[in-house]
């Protein structure tokens, strides 16, 4: 993978992570359920660490992190229409699972293309964080869907 292509890909992750920070933070503010709100805040803080660690990798290569336009819309497709306004908890979780799964897929693809080293380890760490987020969101979604079905 040449350096330009790598920088472009890192900028894509930088933008994705940044937009996830903003989205999860606004979801947390709109969420009535305190456990869900606190978890979204905590996950937003972890996404902020990803923003920072990807930005550091870009700068290490002599470039400046560049924000791309809407990265979430193309991932969410028809779900992106629900992004504005307060989403209910079930839609929130579905949207977030879709984003986390896309992030995981792309981290896995990039891991296969970079050699062993600092970036390789960093991508693995971010990937595992996204896997943990997906697991929590999925578990919570199942719980809420179970409650909904019983009413």
- Residues near Fe ion, by CB under 5 A: 17, 47, 50, 100, 130, 133
Measured from the CB atom, the residue of 94 and 133 that comes closer to Fe ion is 133
Could you give the CA distance from residue 31 to residue 27 in angstroms, rounded to a whole number? 6
Measure the CA angle with vertex 136, ends 134 and 139; round to 5°: 105
Shortest Å, Cβ 151 to Fe ion: 30
Q: How far is the CB of 142 from Fe ion (least distance, A)?
A: 18
- Within the chain, residue ranges assigned H as helices are 3-30, 34-60, 72-76, 89-111, 118-149
Q: Which one, 7 or 15, has the nearer CB to Fe ion?
A: 15
Q: Which residue's CB is nearer to Fe ion, number 6 or number 18?
A: 18
Task: Report the nearest approach of Fe ion to the CB of residue 150 (Å).
Answer: 30
Least distance in Å: CB of 50 to Fe ion?
Answer: 4
Phi/psi at 2 (5° precision): -75, 165
Using alpha carbons, select from 77, 75, 13, 73 the residue that is nearest to residue 47: 13
Q: Which is nearer to Fe ion, 3 or 135 (CB)?
A: 135
């Amino acid at each position: 993978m040449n350096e330009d292509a790598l920088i472009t890909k890192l900028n894509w992750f930088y933008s994705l992570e940044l937009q996830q920070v903003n989205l999860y933070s606004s979801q947390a503010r709109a969420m009535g359920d305190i456990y869900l709100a606190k978890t979204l805040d905590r996950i937003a803080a972890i996404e902020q660490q990803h923003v920072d660690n990807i930005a550091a990798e870009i700068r290490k290569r002599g470039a400046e992190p560049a924000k791309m336009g809407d990265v979430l819309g193309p991932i969410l497709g028809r779900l992106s229409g629900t992004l504005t306004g307060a989403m209910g908890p079930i839609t929130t979780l579905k949207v977030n699972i879709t984003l986390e799964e896309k992030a995981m897929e792309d981290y896995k693809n990039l891991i296969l293309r970079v050699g062993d080293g600092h970036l390789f380890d960093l991508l693995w760490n971010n990937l595992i964080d996204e896997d943990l987020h997906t697991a929590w969101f999925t578990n919570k979604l199942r719980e809420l869907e179970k409650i909904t079905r019983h009413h």
